[in-house]
Amino acid sequence: MSFIDYAYASSEETHESIATEPADTGLLASMGINGSLFIFQLINFAIVFVVLWFLILKPLTKKLLERQKMIDNSIANSKKIDDMLKQSELGFQEKIDMAKAEASMIMERTKNEADTLAEQSRQKTRVEIESLVESAKKKIGAERDQMIIGLKEETASIVVAALERILSEKIDAKKDKEMIAEALNKLNYEKK
């Protein structure tokens, strides 16, 4: 049987089924809508929506809000570190001003010694500030990386849990780890 013959036979069956269906005189029937089928589809949609909401969307949004709070806290800590850096720079500037005033009092006798001490103080403070900034950047970067890894792992666990419930079968630990590792690899690949 060719495709054209099949389409023709299907068309005839459709015409026959339309002719054999009872003629509803209601508003829905006049628009070509089967009322009982529409209600069943609406109920099915509502059930799927409720399941998705309570099993996936609600826990996921809760975790995302928690992660957002952690990120906001990290940003606040970063601002505090920035403020501390500015205060250190102000303290550094105050030390330079004091060194200049001291040097002007005894400039004739100890000009070389004052310049040497001021330069050493500047370098030491600069090194301390740079080390503080560098350690703060490393700490923030490490926390961000840990949060991303944790979020990926939790997302993979949520997806696996949802799939287990939907498929109504328990996946063993080995298969579970393989699926999580595969999901994380895909997420890392997409990130790059």
**pLDDT tens-digit map of 108-138:** 888 888 788 888 999 999 999 999 999 999 9
Using CA atoms, how far apart are residues 116 and 123, in angstroms rounded to an integer?
Answer: 11
**pTM, rounded to two decimals:** 0.29
Q: Is residue 108 part of a domain?
A: yes
Q: Is residue 43 part of a domain?
A: no
Say if residues 28 and 38 touch (Cβ distance below 8 Å): yes
Q: Is residue 146 part of a domain?
A: yes
**Interval 125-175: pLDDT, tens:** 999 999 999 999 999 999 999 998 888 888 878 877 777 666 645 567 777
Say if residues 121 and 99 touch (Cβ distance below 8 Å): yes
Q: Is residue 14 part of a domain?
A: no
**Interval 24-77: pLDDT, tens:** 457 767 777 787 888 899 999 999 999 999 998 899 999 999 999 999 999 999
Say if residues 99 and 117 touch (Cβ distance below 8 Å): yes
Could you give the number of structural domains in the chain?
1
Q: Is residue 44 part of a domain?
A: no
Mean pLDDT value of segment 76-94: 89
Say if residues 67 and 151 touch (Cβ distance below 8 Å): yes
51: closest CA among 153, 167, 157, 152?
167
Question: What is the band of 93 on the pLDDT scale with cuts at 50, 70, 90?
Answer: confident
Q: Is residue 131 part of a domain?
A: yes
What domain range is 145 assigned to? 55-191
Q: Is residue 23 part of a domain?
A: no
Q: Is residue 4 part of a domain?
A: no
